[in-house]
């Protein structure tokens, strides 16, 4: 939206009489919160204030980041369904405060076809997450719904939630794999080739 506004403003400055207009958008996926303390800030352990929202918003999971030596940067308010929102906060921590444990071990990673990753010690990790049967059923139902109907909107919201669950499972598998590597090995070698 911001880039569209800038483009229209540039065209207007260049002398174009009718550069166009921005169409009304009824739906949005995320809102950028660019600066901590101005566009958003925290209250207590479960509430936060968001710019242009006229009441404090209750947030679950803030205890993971509050009362720690983190510097908060930008954040994103992400829409997950009709009534569900997630907040994604970028935090920074000083490198000197991170305790490093040296293992002096090394490992090689091979990208495979049958499994996602095969390690040089023989361990295999599969991060592939299939679409659920529930998602397939919802997508089949969507084909029968009338465009712009309330039932179609509700169904799209359910599909978004199901996709979010699948993405969370993928991210969880990836994070566990990365954590395993970083916790147990100091030197990691990865094959350098293009897979088509």
Q: pLDDT tens digits, residue range 1-48?
A: 567 777 777 877 777 777 677 666 666 778 888 888 888 888 877 888
Q: What pLDDT is recorded for position 26?
A: 63
Max CA distance (Å), the chain: 67
The mean pLDDT value for 76-103 works out to 78
Asked if 74 and 31 touch (Cβ cutoff 8 Å), the reply is no
Residue 192 in this model has a pLDDT that exceeds 80: no
Q: What pLDDT is recorded for position 71?
A: 85
Angle subtended by helix axes 150-184 and 133-142, to nearest 10: 150
From the CB of residue 89, how many other CB atoms can be counted at a distance below 10 Å? 19
What are the two backbone dihedrals, phi and then psi, of residue 161, each rounded to the nearest 5 degrees?
A: -65, -40
Residue 195 in this model has a pLDDT that exceeds 60: no
The mean pLDDT value for 158-175 works out to 87
Residue 137 — pLDDT band, cuts 50, 70, 90? very high
Q: What pLDDT is recorded for position 82?
A: 64
Q: How far apart are CA 4 and CA 144, in angstroms?
A: 34
Asked if 35 and 49 touch (Cβ cutoff 8 Å), the reply is no
Q: What pLDDT is recorded for position 194?
A: 62
Q: What pLDDT is recorded for position 47?
A: 87
Asked if 22 and 5 touch (Cβ cutoff 8 Å), the reply is yes
The mean pLDDT value for 141-160 works out to 87
Residue 161 — pLDDT band, cuts 50, 70, 90? confident
């Amino acid at each position: 939206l911001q880039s569209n506004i800038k483009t229209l403003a540039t065209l207007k400055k260049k002398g174009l009489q009718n550069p166009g207009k921005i169409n009304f958008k009824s739906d949005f996926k995320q809102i950028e919160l660019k600066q901590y303390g101005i566009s958003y800030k925290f209250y207590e352990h479960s509430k936060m204030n968001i710019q242009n929202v006229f009441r404090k918003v209750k947030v679950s999971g803030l205890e993971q980041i509050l009362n720690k030596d983190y510097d908060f940067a930008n954040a994103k308010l992400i829409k997950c369904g009709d009534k569900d929102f997630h907040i994604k906060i970028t935090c920074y921590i000083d490198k000197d405060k991170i305790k490093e444990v040296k293992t002096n071990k090394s490992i090689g990673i091979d990208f495979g076809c049958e499994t996602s990753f095969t390690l040089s010690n023989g361990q295999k990790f599969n991060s592939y997450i299939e679409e659920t049967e529930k998602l397939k059923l919802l997508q089949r139902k969507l084909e029968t719904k009338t465009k712009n109907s309330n039932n179609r909107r509700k169904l799209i919201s359910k599909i978004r939630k199901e996709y979010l669950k699948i993405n969370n499972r993928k991210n969880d598998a990836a994070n566990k794999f990365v954590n395993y590597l970083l916790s147990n090995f100091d030197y990691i070698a990865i094959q350098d080739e293009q897979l088509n």
